[in-house]
Amino acid sequence: IADVPVADTVPSPETRAFRNKMEFAFAGSLHLGLYRRDAPGRICEVTDCGIAGPRTMVLVRAAREFCRDFGQPAFDPKTGKGLWRHLVIREAAATGQTMVQLITAPRADAKKAATGLADHLAAACPDLTTFVHSTRKTKSAVAAGERIELATGPGFIEDRVGRTAFRISPDSFFQTNTVGAEKLYDTAMVAAALTGSQTVWDLYCGSGGIALYASAHARQVVGVDSSAMSIRDAKTSAGENGIVNCEFVKGDVRRTLESLRATKPDVVFLDPPRAGTHPEVLAALRLLRPARIVYVSCNPATLARDAMALVGDYRVDGVTPVDMFPHGPHIECVMGLVRKD
């Protein structure tokens, strides 16, 4: 695509202790840390991390101590044996709430291990908001639970982006840089040029971040995501914020669009995973012909690929990079596309 106007990068308001979610992996007998960039699959036992929140490393050190003393090895995806899999820590920037999610294999001793770790972490961090134990049977090394077995406290935390409060459950999607998310959403709103009269779709909406943020500037908003937990959080957040013009639908975006045609959109937000938007979704949008499409992407390569599928009917109004990941190689981009009439 030639002659695309690219704005200056919007910087993250914070460059240290900005990350609200950290995923740590267990390995061997027993290491707990982050995957090494130069050796995928191997663990680096970090003792400090400048991008993590203030409680994270306290919790990691306490978890490492307890899990070693418990005497069971980490899960080995090659053999399917072992107990410990991942430790996910979320810290809410606005509320100070903290959630720990332990992910283990579904073994007979998992409950005893999780209960003991929950007590140990509560002693190490008395203001811990909630501890959730999930099990995962699938061998793939993904830090996501398949079944929640135990929760102490409410089982979720709450955070805010601007004036909007968000419910965050263990496996629901929420931007990992809270203060950066406000910059990202503000940039997306500018690209959308909302006036208060439009019908808006937010496809791949996660826990409703863009949809809820846009609700104050739109007549109606419909969010779609395949994650039941994320959709549940989005609906709860809408209710707690008194937002009545948002509807959230659980379903695969590709298969759900047909049922949404009655609410023909004026503006569509796309915020897909790194793999990008399914070609059938892009083809459906070309037929629906919304006046604007705002594509939010953490992968410039798939963003460029998908934009090529739209430029026959749309022109690229501009691209604004947003630095959501300081000190890392990744960048978020907001692309505005305007229909050619």
Per-residue model confidence as pLDDT tens digits over 170-215: 999 999 999 999 999 999 999 999 999 999 999 999 999 999 999 9
Condensed to tens digits (0 to 9), the pLDDT of residues 254-273 reads 999 988 988 899 999 999 99
Query: How many C-beta atoms surround the C-beta of residue 42 within 10 A?
Result: 13
* Final residue before a domain boundary, out of 111, 130, 160: 160
256: domain CATH number is 3.40.50.150
Count of residues making up the chain:
341
Q: Which of 101, 132, 160 is the last residue of a domain?
A: 160
Same domain, 156 and 224: no
* pLDDT for residue 318: 96
Q: What is the mean pLDDT of residues 219-246?
A: 97
- pLDDT value at position 29? 84
Residue 1 lies in a domain: no
CATH number at residue 103: 2.40.50.1070
pLDDT at 37: 84
Residue 15 inside a domain? The answer is no
Q: Over pLDDT 70: what percentage of the chain?
A: 100
Domain that holds residue 109: 21-160
- pLDDT of the residue at 42: 87
Q: How confident is the model at residue 1 (pLDDT cuts 50, 70, 90)?
A: confident
Provide the token pair at 45. 């036992």
The reply to whether 126 falls in a domain is: yes
Q: What is the pLDDT of residue 51?
A: 96
Residues 192 and 304 in one domain: yes
Tokens of 276: 């990008």
Same domain, 142 and 285: no
Last residue of a domain, one of 160, 185, 213: 160
Distances (CA, A) of 185 to 175, 212, 221: 10, 10, 15
User: Same structural domain for residues 153 and 213?
Assistant: no
Give the total number of structural domains in the chain.
2
Q: Are 318 and 295 in contact (CB under 8 A)?
A: no
151 with 196, same domain? Answer: no
Q: Which of 141, 170, 172 shows the shortest CA–CA distance to 35?
A: 141
C-alpha span between 31 and 25 (Å, rounded) = 8
Q: Are strands 21-27 and 31-36 parallel, antiparallel or unpaired?
A: antiparallel
Asked if 200 and 327 sit in the same domain, the reply is yes
Look at residues 201, 160, 179 and name the one whose alpha carbon lies nearest to residue 11. Answer: 179
Instruction: Name the active-site residue from 125, 246, 298, 333.
Output: 298
The verdict on 114 and 41 lying in the same domain is: yes
Averaged pLDDT, 122-132: 97
Report the distance separating Cα 67 and Cα 29, nearest Å.
9
- pLDDT of residue 135 exceeding 90, the answer is yes
Instruction: Name the pLDDT band for 341 (thresholds 50, 70, 90).
Output: confident
> What is this structure's pTM?
0.94
Query: For 57-107, how does the pLDDT look when each residue is reduced to its tens digit (9 = 90+)?
Result: 999 999 999 999 999 999 998 899 999 999 999 999 899 999 999 999 999
Is residue 165 one of the residues assigned to a domain? no
Residue 171 maps to a domain: no
> Quick one: 120 and 182 in the same domain?
no
- The chain-wide mean pLDDT, for the chain, equals 95
Task: For residues 208 and 315, state if they share a domain.
Answer: yes
Does 69 lie in the same domain as 39?
Answer: yes
Q: Could you tell me if 185 and 112 lie in one domain?
A: no
Among 82, 178, 173, 172, residue whose Cα is nearest residue 135: 82
> Strands, E, within the chain: which ranges?
21-27, 31-36, 39-44, 84-91, 98-104, 130-135, 147-152, 157-161, 164-168, 199-203, 220-225, 246-250, 267-270, 292-297, 314-322, 332-339
Residue 137 inside a domain? The answer is: yes
- Residues 153 and 279 grouped into a single domain: no
Say what the pLDDT of residue 39 is.
Answer: 80
Domain annotation covers residue 264: yes
67 is catalytic: no
Is the bond preceding 30 in cis, omega lying within 30 degrees of 0?
Answer: yes
